């Protein structure tokens, strides 16, 4: 019985793989935090789990809480004590309330005079007692993605609980939860090793379970399974087709990571690779094995036991896989009886969204939006192919195969188009329509694929926002954020020089009267989502926050152009003078805040510094305009930088807020004109620079 160690195990019915890992960590840190709050800080924490048990071990916990001494100040001494220094009735009452003898009352000096005081010592409670109070709460209050009740309304928890081990320094921490009394007894696998046994500490707990073949440590189990899988693959002369999410899911689904090796009938290798992999993964949670890129007629999967003495597990899995692949072959054959175009003709029966119409309606909208996008981009060569792809791209949604394996949407359409002998550009664009899915995979490899992917996503986002289904917090059931991210990545990495606002507006118009929000409202909601994704994605490219903000202030939704602006600021910001022009721009913005537009009259300029500024501005204006037009943004910024000295000189020599209103307004007008030029490339005022007091002139806030 290790000193200071607390072992907790909650045994229950099988907790879903997607929840159990986080819940265990959560349980551990809740108890840790509660102990910390009571100054019973554990030195070490370890957690482990299987589908049927959550285990937490906390080590190095002090045996009891520290005693607490506090001084309670009572009535003034003159009231609490009589002339002889004996406690009065009031003094006795105070002592009683504090739980001490009246003769133990003390006197303390305070700024307000002398007072009676009671020094009260609260004895710290034994840790065992503290644990028996806080642990059941921590278990009951775990956050689950989904909870249930059982029996006569017991719960809620993820699944019914059957046993609790709670042992501190070898002694049972007593409590009751869900009708279960905590104890020191657990058991192994319910069928293979059901015999109950006693546990005293985490080490013996792990050891005893280990003897039964049960490993509670997730990482240990994962690496065992990984080794088991790759050994099995090597024996077959191949390697495992990598699938980390599947590996983690399987690890969370067992206590004993056994590997099943099964054979596949050679004839099924005629099925497309994608179908084989998806069928094995989605239906059988099984890995495929490949050699030099070719799948081998075998699969690997998990069993929650160490061995398969009679081969039942292998044969069972093989039988199911065979049935599944027969099924897949049947679906494939059925689907191939129709062309993809014929499948697409049935999209009228598949709802995209109750209010947004069917997939046939969506297809029509995507076709038109593709044409529009190609026109904006001057991609004449792609326009026709994009429209052709758009007509076919959703066809696989009504195929048998995609109904069975939703993960194959798009891919199946591509496979069928390829099998029909359509052009590579066409089938590839269909195949890759859902790319990218995240931040690390690539975008579609063809221009057409990018056009249709962009059109599809913008159509969805505008539609979903248009019927008021704006995502909030972690709730995004229609994947608006992911779609927006796809839009940003496709436009950026696909170098699609077009104004996304125009595309969104067009997408809105195509919905006719289906949408409930106004076009302005939809654009107003759409932009923050887009900008949010732009910030995220450009942030990944090592641009800093203020560089991105500055470019966003120009408001452009032409993303490659936006990116060029960000890059220009990134390059120029450390060049000499840039800081000054940013500060000048900020000062101008300050002066002009809330000032109405004024007319600039050259003849009213009198002071040399302002005349000089005006002349420089004339030159600057044209240079910036020209460079902007040619998208030479670094040059724009450098031109502005060269202007900093003249501006600084002006602010030192000239008072904008002249007493004569005509002079004042004219100077304001000059600054307004300059502000327009300086704001063309990026919002300079958003760039973060250190302030230097030396350049602060005599200008106040206008």
Partner 1 sequence: MHSFQDLILTLSQYWTAQGCVLQQPYDLEVGAGTMHPETFLRVLGPEPWNVVYVQPSRRPADARYGENPFRLGKHYQLQVLLKPSPAGVQALYVQSLEAMGIDLSLHDLRFEEDNWEAPTLGAWGVGWQVMLDGMEITQFTYFQQAGGLALDPVSAEITYGLERITMFLGRKRSLYEIDWVPGGVTYGQVRHQDEVEFSRYYFELADVEFLRTQFDGNEREAVRCLEAELALPAYECALKCSHLFNVLDARGAVSVTERVGLIKRVRRLSVACAKVYVARREDLGYPLLAAEPAERGHSAEPGRPGEPGEPGVEIT
Residues at the site binding partner 1, with contacts judged by CB under 8 A: 11-14, 16-18, 51-53, 146, 148-153, 159-160, 162-163, 179-181, 183-187, 190-192, 194, 196, 253-254, 258, 260, 284, 301, 303-305, 308-310, 312-313, 315-317, 319-321, 323, 326-327, 330, 348-351, 354, 357-358
- Using an 8 Å Cβ cutoff, are 410 and 393 in contact? yes
Query: Least distance in Å: CB of 367 to partner 1?
Result: 19
CA distances from 488 to 93, 529, 547 (A): 74, 10, 17
By beta-carbon proximity to partner 1, the closer residue of 14 and 546 is 14
Can you tell me whether residue 163 is helix, strand or coil?
A: strand
Q: Nearest-5° angle of CA 136, CA 142, CA 147? A: 110
β-sheet bridge partners, residue 636: none
Q: Could you tell me the two tokens for 122?
A: 């609260």
Query: Least distance in Å: CB of 341 to partner 1?
Result: 19
By beta-carbon proximity to partner 1, the closer residue of 144 and 434 is 144
Query: Least distance in Å: CB of 331 to partner 1?
Result: 10
Positive or negative, the Cα torsion across 316, 321, 324, 330?
Answer: negative
By beta-carbon proximity to partner 1, the closer residue of 113 and 151 is 151
Torsion angle, alpha carbons of 674, 677, 680, 685, to 10: -20
By beta-carbon proximity to partner 1, the closer residue of 316 and 697 is 316
| DSSP code per residue over 127-157 | HHHHHHHHHHHHHHT---SS-EEETTTEEEE
By beta-carbon proximity to partner 1, the closer residue of 135 and 498 is 135
Query: Least distance in Å: CB of 437 to partner 1?
Result: 23
Neighbours of 101 (CB within 10 A): 12
By beta-carbon proximity to partner 1, the closer residue of 262 and 453 is 262
By beta-carbon proximity to partner 1, the closer residue of 179 and 421 is 179
Can you tell me whether residue 21 is helix, strand or coil?
A: helix
Sequence-ordered list of residues with C-beta below 8 angstroms from that of 255, at least 6 positions apart, any chain: 50, 51, 52, 53, 189, 209, 213, 214, 215, 216, 221, 304
- Using an 8 Å Cβ cutoff, are 640 and 564 in contact? no
CA distances from 228 to 235, 236, 261, 303, 310 (A): 11, 13, 10, 12, 19
By beta-carbon proximity to partner 1, the closer residue of 308 and 653 is 308
Neighbours of 653 (CB within 10 A): 15
CB-neighbour burial class of residue 675 (10 A; exposed 0-12, middle 13-18, buried 19+): middle
Q: In what order do the strands lie in the sheet with 287-291?
A: 239-240, 287-291, 294-303, 258-263
Query: Least distance in Å: CB of 168 to partner 1?
Result: 17
By beta-carbon proximity to partner 1, the closer residue of 51 and 75 is 51
CB-neighbour burial class of residue 17 (10 A; exposed 0-12, middle 13-18, buried 19+): middle
Query: Least distance in Å: CB of 357 to partner 1?
Result: 8
Torsion angle, alpha carbons of 690, 695, 696, 699, to 10: -130
By beta-carbon proximity to partner 1, the closer residue of 355 and 527 is 355
Query: Least distance in Å: CB of 464 to partner 1?
Result: 17
By beta-carbon proximity to partner 1, the closer residue of 115 and 359 is 359
By beta-carbon proximity to partner 1, the closer residue of 117 and 402 is 402
φ, ψ of residue 606 in degrees (nearest 5): -120, -50
By beta-carbon proximity to partner 1, the closer residue of 304 and 382 is 304
Query: Least distance in Å: CB of 336 to partner 1?
Result: 16
Query: Least distance in Å: CB of 330 to partner 1?
Result: 6
Query: Least distance in Å: CB of 309 to partner 1?
Result: 6
By beta-carbon proximity to partner 1, the closer residue of 41 and 351 is 351
Query: Least distance in Å: CB of 219 to partner 1?
Result: 21
Query: Least distance in Å: CB of 286 to partner 1?
Result: 8
Q: Nearest-5° angle of CA 695, CA 696, CA 700? A: 150
By beta-carbon proximity to partner 1, the closer residue of 290 and 404 is 404
Query: Least distance in Å: CB of 313 to partner 1?
Result: 5
Query: Least distance in Å: CB of 147 to partner 1?
Result: 8
Q: Could you tell me the two tokens for 644?
A: 């900093």
Q: Quick one: the chain helix, strand, coil %, rounded to 5?
A: 55, 15, 30
> Residue 577 and residue 626: Cα distance in Å, rounded?
21
Burial readout 54-71 (b: 16 or more C-beta within 10 A, e: otherwise): bbbbbbebbeebeeeeee
Query: Least distance in Å: CB of 152 to partner 1?
Result: 5
Candidates 168, 160, 70, 156; CA nearest to 119 is 70
Sequence-ordered list of residues with C-beta below 8 angstroms from that of 542, at least 6 positions apart, any chain: none
């Amino acid at each position: 019985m290790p000193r200071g160690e607390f072992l907790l195990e909650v045994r229950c019915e099988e907790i879903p793989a997607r929840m159990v890992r986080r819940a265990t960590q959560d349980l551990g840190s809740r108890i840790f935090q509660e102990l910390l709050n009571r100054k019973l800080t554990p030195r070490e924490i370890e957690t482990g789990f299987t589908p049927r048990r959550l285990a937490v071990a906390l080590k190095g916990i002090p045996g009891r809480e520290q005693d607490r001494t506090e001084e309670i100040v009572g009535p003034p001494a003159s009231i609490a004590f009589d002339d002889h220094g004996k406690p009065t009735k009031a003094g006795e009452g105070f002592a009683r309330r504090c739980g001490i003898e009246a003769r133990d009352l003390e006197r303390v000096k305070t700024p307000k005079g002398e007072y009676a005081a009671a020094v009260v010592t609260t004895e710290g409670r034994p840790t065992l007692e503290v644990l028996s109070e806080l642990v059941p709460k921590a278990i009951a209050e775990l956050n689950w993605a989904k909870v249930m009740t059982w029996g006569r309304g017991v719960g809620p928890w993820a699944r019914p609980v059957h046993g609790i081990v709670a042992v501190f320094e070898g002694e049972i921490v007593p409590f009751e939860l869900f009708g279960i009394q905590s104890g020191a007894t657990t058991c192994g696998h319910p069928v293979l090793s059901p015999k109950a046994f006693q546990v005293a500490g985490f080490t013996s707990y792990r050891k005893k379970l280990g003897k039964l073949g049960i490993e509670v440590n997730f990482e240990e189990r994962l690496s065992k399974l990984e080794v088991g899988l790759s050994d099995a693959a090597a024996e077959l002369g191949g390697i495992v087709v990598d699938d980390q999410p599947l590996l983690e899911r399987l690890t969370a689904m067992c206590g004993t990571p056994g590997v099943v090796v099964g054979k596949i009938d050679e004839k099924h290798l005629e099925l497309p690779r994608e179908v084989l992999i998806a069928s094995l993964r989605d239906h059988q949670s099984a890995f495929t094995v490949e050699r030099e890129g070719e799948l081998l007629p075998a699969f690997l999967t998990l069993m929650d036991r160490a061995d398969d003495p009679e081969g039942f597990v292998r044969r069972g899995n093989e039988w199911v896989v065979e049935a599944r692949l027969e099924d897949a072959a049947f679906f494939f054959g059925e689907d191939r009886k129709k062309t993809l175009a014929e499948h697409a003709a049935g999209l009228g029966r598949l709802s995209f969204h109750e209010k947004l119409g069917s997939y046939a309606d969506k297809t029509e909208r995507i076709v038109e939006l593709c044409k529009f996008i190609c026109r904006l981009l001057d991609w004449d060569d792609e326009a026709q192919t994009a429209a052709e792809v758009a007509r076919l791209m959703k066809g696989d949604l009504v195929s048998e195969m995609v109904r069975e394996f939703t993960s194959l949407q798009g891919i199946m359409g591509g496979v069928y188009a390829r099998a029909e002998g359509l052009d590579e550009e066409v089938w590839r664009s269909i195949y890759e329509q859902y790319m990218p899915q995240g931040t690390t995979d690539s975008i579609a490899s063809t221009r057409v694929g990018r056009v249709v992917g962009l059109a599809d996503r913008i159509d969805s986002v505008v539609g979903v926002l248009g019927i008021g289904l704006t995502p909030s917090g972690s709730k995004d059931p229609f994947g608006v954020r992911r779609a927006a991210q796809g839009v940003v990545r496709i436009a950026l990495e696909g170098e699609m020089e077009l104004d996304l606002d125009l595309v969104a507006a067009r997408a809105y118009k195509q919905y006719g009267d289906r949408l409930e929000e106004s076009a302005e409202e939809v654009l107003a909601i759409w932009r923050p989502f887009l900008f949010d994704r732009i910030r995220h994605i450009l942030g990944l490219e090592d641009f800093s926050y203020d560089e991105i903000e500055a470019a966003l202030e120009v408001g452009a939704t032409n993303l490659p152009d936006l990116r060029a602006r960000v890059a220009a600021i990134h390059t120029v910001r450390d060049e000499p003078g840039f800081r000054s022009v940013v500060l000048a721009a900020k000062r101008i913005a300050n002066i002009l805040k809330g000032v109405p537009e004024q007319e600039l009259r050259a003849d009213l300029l009198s002071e040399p510094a302002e005349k000089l500024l005006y002349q420089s501005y004339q030159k600057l204006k044209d240079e910036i305009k020209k460079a902007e037009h040619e998208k030479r943004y670094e040059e724009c910024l450098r031109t502005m930088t060269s202007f900093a000295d003249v501006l600084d000189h002006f602010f030192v020599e000239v008072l904008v807020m002249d007493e004569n209103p005509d002079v004042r307004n004219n100077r304001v007008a000059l600054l307004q004109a300059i502000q327009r030029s300086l704001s063309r490339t990026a919002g300079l005022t958003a760039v973060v620079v250190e302030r230097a007091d030396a350049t602060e002139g005599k200008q106040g806030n206008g």
